[in-house]
Structure 1
Amino acid sequence: MTQAKPRFRNFEEYLDYDDGSDRRYELVDGELIELPPESEPNNAIAQELFWLLANAQIVIRRLIKLYACQIQVPVLQSGDAANRFPDLVVLREEHLRLTQSQLTIKLDMPPPQLIAKVVSPGKENTDNYQRDYTRKRAQYAARGIPEYWIIDPNPDRAVVTVLSLKDGAYQSREFRGTDRLISPAFPDLELTVEQILRAGQ
Structure 2
Amino acid sequence: MIQTLQKEVTFDEFIAWYPENTEHRYELHDGVIAEMPKPKGKHSKLAGLISGKLFVEIQRSQLPFFIPRECIIKSRDGKSGYEPDVIVLDEAALVNEPRWEAESVITQGNSVKLIIEVVSTNWRDDYFRKLGDYEELGIPEYWVFDYLALGGRNFIGNPKQPTISVYELVDGEYQVTQFRGNETLKLPTFPELNLNVEQIFQL
Q: Which residue does the alignment assign to 2:91?
A: 93
Distance 2:124 2:8 in 1: 26
Matches within 5 A, 1:89-128: 89-94=87-92, 98=97, 99-107=100-108, 110-121=110-121, 128=122
* Identity, % of aligned positions: 32
1:136 shift after superposition: 1.3
RCO higher in structure (CA 8 A, sep ≥6)? 1
1:178 shift after superposition: 2.4
CA contact (8 A) 2:65 2:91 kept: no
Q: Which residue does the alignment assign to 1:158?
A: 162
Distance 1:5 1:132 in 2: 21
Deviates more, 1:149-158 or 1:10-19: 10-19
Q: Which residue does the alignment assign to 1:15?
A: 15
* TM-score where L is the length of structure 2: 0.77
Q: Secondary structure at the match of 2:12?
A: helix
Q: Which runs of 5+ in 2 are unaligned?
A: 150-159
Q: Which runs of 5+ in 1 are unaligned?
A: 122-127
Is 1:135 the counterpart of 2:139? The answer is: no
Distance 1:30 1:110 in 2: 24
Q: Which residue does the alignment assign to 2:32?
A: 31
RMSD in angstroms over aligned alpha carbons?
2.7
Distance 2:180 2:111 in 1: 28
Q: Which residue does the alignment assign to 1:125?
A: none
Distance 2:19 2:103 in 1: 15
1:5 shift after superposition: 7.3
Aligned pairs, number: 183
CA contact (8 A) 1:58 1:186 kept: no
- Identify, as 1 or 2, the structure richer in strand: 2
Match of 2:194 among 183, 187, 190: 190
Deviates more, 1:172-181 or 1:90-99: 90-99
